[in-house]
Amino acid sequence: METASCFHGDADFCPECGSVLPLPGLEDKVTCQRCAFAIDVHEFEVHVIKSSVVFNSLESSSAAIETEEEVEKGPVIDRKCSRCGHEGMVYHTRQMRSADEGQTVFYTCTHCRYQEKEDS
C-alpha cells in the first residue's frame, strides 16, 4: 500500500513518524518498520551521499614525537634501568585499557632514554 505524506524532511527518516527508514533492498518500495509508510525506491536515486575523512597533521597531534627535553620532564623515581643500570627514571601514566582496569606506567631512563612499561 503506497501512501503519500504531507510532510517533507530528510530522506533517511520516515516523513510520518520520524523513524529511521531501512536501507533500500531488492523490493520496489522502502517501508517504515514502525508505521508502515511506504515510499518508492526510485525516490532515493536523486540523493547523493558524500563522506570524507580528515586526518590531523602529526605536528598538531598530542601524540607527536617527544623531543629530548620533554623526555626528561616529569617526576624522577629511584628505579634502576634494566638496560644500562643507571639509577633514576622518569615516569608517566596512561589509561590504555578499560576504565575498570589499572593504568599503564611508562618509565624512561634519564641516562640512555630506554623505555619500559608496567601494567598495574
Buried b (16+ CB within 10 A) or exposed e, 14-28: bbeeeeebeebeeee
Query: pLDDT tens digits, residue range 79-118?
Result: 999 999 999 999 988 888 888 888 899 999 999 999 999 8
Mean per-residue pLDDT of the chain: 81
Average pLDDT over every residue of 56-64? 63
Residue linked to cell 590531523: 56
14 is in an annotated binding site: yes
Residue linked to cell 589509561: 95
- CA nearest neighbour of 71 among 36, 37, 32, 112: 112
6 is in an annotated binding site: no
Task: Output the pLDDT for position 112.
Answer: 92
